[in-house]
Every structure is written in structure tokens, then in C-alpha cells.
């Protein structure tokens, strides 16, 4: 292995470790993809995670300046095909190999910037824009990898991929209600502040997520075999989390972070594998 290949390999390993430390569920789902696409998906997740930590965790720094510098460094690394930052180097390799469109990256950064100056979302348009940039474009980046840049396949699966990313993000909002409000001073659902959230408007949110899941599942059925099972397991995990949140009173989810126990996650994998092998994805 030459030194360039060695460095690139180390960069992807770094992104894999980031993924495993920050999201055990997502890391587990990646392991169920074909090994050939593990590294690029880790590369995408590492990039997204680093940007997210800038706006969510490091409140003692000038977050706007750091995020702006990170954005400039991202585009420079893509243009030059190299970065001394291991996370950015892994990400630029994925962007350049799989021809990920730069407008997806731009939308992602716009949503990260919104997290720095917006605490509420008054309209559905604002809310949708944030979700598109923070979640749907990440699904679209991964879709480029899953489809190996096949433009026709990507176009046919674009809307389901966006719907799935949207569902995952909205569930994250419900799961993290208390932390978002009390720690980050954010409420994402339009026209509903934390204090006003009740079982009635929660039902509206739940119905919206249900529609996203239906659209996303149809797309999963048509993914290449290299990625279908892993994405399906992620879908089943989030759907289980969704069902748990749906069954709980709003007063509970407003103050407790809902989780899926590890033993349930294992059952989800086994059930998903059985359905996958029996061609009964649902």
C-alpha cells in the first residue's frame, strides 16, 4: 500500500470510529451493508457528525466562525482532492468518486447555520427547508453511494430517500424534545412550542411521519442488494422507536428521552433478516 492509499485508509478508519462512538444503531446498520460501501457511508456520516458537533456541542467557541471555516475547508478539499483533516479527506473522496452534487452540501450547511441563529420554526416551509438540509440531503448523498452514481436509478429513488430521511429526523425531534428545548433552546415543529405540545398536535406530527415512512419503504424495496438489507434494518429500528413514541403520552416524551433497549435492537435485526429472506419487506 502506497502512502496516499495508507493515508486515505486511515481517514476512513477515523470516520468509522466516529460513527461507532456517536451512533451505535447507525454503525450497526452500516455493518449490514455490503463491505464495499462501508467506507464511503462512514465518510459521509463522519462529515455530518463533525458539522453537527460544531453547532450542538461546542458552545464556548465562536461557532459561526468555526462552521464557516469548516465549510470553506470542505469545498477546498473537494476541489483539491485532499485535506489534512482526516474527516474532510474521507468525505471529499466520497464526493468526488460518487459525483455527489454540491448543492446537497450547500443545503446541509444552510441547515447547520440555521441551528446557530434559529430557535423556532414558524412556518411549514421553514421547517421543511431545515429538514431537507439536515436530513434529506444526507439520505441523497448515501443514495449516490448505494446506486454507484447511476443517475437513472438515483432519480427514481430520490423522493423515497428524502421521505425516509425526513421520517428519521422528525422522530429524532420527538425523541430529543427535552434536550433540544432545555439545552439548545430549540423547537422544530412549526406553530407548536414546547409548552403547547399536547396529544392532539402530537397526533398530527405522528400522521405526517407515518406518510413519510410509507413513501420511504417503497424506495427501500428497489434499492440495490448491496444496501437494501442495511437500510431496511435502519427503517425497522426507527419504526420501532416511532411506535414506542406514538404509544406514550406527550407529557412523557416531553421530559424523557425514549430509547430502544439493546436486546430489542437485536430482535429487530433477526426479524428484518427473516422478512428480507422471505421477500416480505414491510
| pLDDT tens digits for range 35-65 | 999 999 999 999 999 999 999 999 899 999 9
Of 133, 33, 50, nearest to 89 (Cα)?
50
Contact 82, 89 (CB under 8 A): yes
pLDDT tops 80 at residue 13: yes
pLDDT tops 90 at residue 156: yes
| pLDDT tens digits for range 114-152 | 999 988 898 999 999 999 999 999 999 999 999 998 999
**What percent of the chain stands above pLDDT 90?**
77
Q: How many residues does the chain have?
A: 282
The DSSP-derived string for 135-189 is IIHHHHHHHHHHTTT-HHHHHHHHHHHHHHHHHHHHHHHHHTHHHHHHTS--B-S
pLDDT tops 80 at residue 79: yes
Every domain of the chain and the residues it spans: 1-98, 127-282
Contact 116, 106 (CB under 8 A): no
pLDDT tops 90 at residue 20: yes
The per-residue pLDDT for 192 is 83
Contact 167, 238 (CB under 8 A): yes
Task: Say which CATH topology domain 127-282 has.
Answer: Farnesyl Diphosphate Synthase (1.10.600)
pTM: 0.93
Angle of helix 38-56 relative to helix 86-98, nearest 10 degrees, comes to: 130
Q: What residues have CB less than 8 Å from 143, skipping those under 6 apart? A: 154, 157, 158, 161
User: Which triple of cell numbers denotes residue 120?
Assistant: 423556532
The per-residue pLDDT for 265 is 85
N-to-C CA span, the chain: 44
The per-residue pLDDT for 262 is 82
| pLDDT tens digits for range 184-204 | 889 899 888 788 888 888 999
Taken in order 182, 210, 43, 270, is the CA torsion positive or negative? Answer: positive
Report residue 213's pLDDT band, with 50, 70 and 90 as the boundaries: very high
pLDDT tops 80 at residue 32: yes
Gyration radius from the chain CA atoms: 19
pLDDT tops 80 at residue 268: yes
Amino acid at each position: 500500500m502506497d502512502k496516499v492509499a495508507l493515508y486515505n485508509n486511515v481517514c476512513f478508519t477515523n470516520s468509522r470510529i466516529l460513527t461507532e462512538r456517536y451512533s451505535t444503531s447507525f454503525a450497526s446498520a452500516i455493518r449490514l451493508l455490503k463491505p464495499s460501501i462501508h467506507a464511503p457511508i462512514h465518510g459521509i456520516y463522519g462529515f455530518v457528525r463533525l458539522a453537527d458537533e460544531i453547532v450542538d456541542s461546542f458552545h464556548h467557541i465562536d461557532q459561526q466562525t468555526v462552521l464557516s471555516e469548516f465549510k470553506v475547508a470542505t469545498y477546498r478539499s473537494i476541489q483539491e482532492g485532499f485535506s489534512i483533516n482526516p474527516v474532510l479527506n474521507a468525505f471529499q473522496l466520497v464526493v468526488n468518486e460518487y459525483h455527489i452534487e454540491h448543492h446537497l452540501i450547500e443545503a446541509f450547511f444552510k441547515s447547520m447555520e440555521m441551528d446557530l441563529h434559529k430557535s423556532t420554526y414558524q412556518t411549514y416551509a421553514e421547517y421543511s427547508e431545515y429538514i431537507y438540509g439536515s436530513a434529506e440531503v444526507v439520505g441523497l448523498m448515501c443514495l449516490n453511494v448505494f446506486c454507484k452514481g447511476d443517475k437513472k436509478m438515483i432519480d427514481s429513488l430520490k423522493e423515497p430517500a428524502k421521505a425516509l430521511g425526513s421520517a428519521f429526523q422528525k422522530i429524532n425531534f420527538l425523541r430529543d424534545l427535552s434536550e433540544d428545548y432545555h439545552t439548545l433552546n430549540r423547537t422544530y415543529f412549526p406553530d407548536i412550542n414546547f409548552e403547547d405540545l399536547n396529544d392532539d398536535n402530537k397526533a398530527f406530527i405522528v400522521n405526517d411521519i407515518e406518510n413519510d415512512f410509507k413513501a420511504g419503504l417503497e424506495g427501500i424495496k428497489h434499492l440495490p442488494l448491496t444496501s437494501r438489507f442495511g437500510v431496511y434494518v435502519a427503517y425497522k429500528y426507527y419504526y420501532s422507536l416511532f411506535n414506542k413514541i406514538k404509544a406514550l403520552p406527550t407529557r412523557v416524551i416531553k421530559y424523557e428521552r425514549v430509547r430502544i433497549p439493546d436486546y430489542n435492537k437485536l430482535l429487530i435485526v433477526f426479524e428484518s433478516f427473516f422478512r428480507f429472506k422471505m421477500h416480505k419487506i414491510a
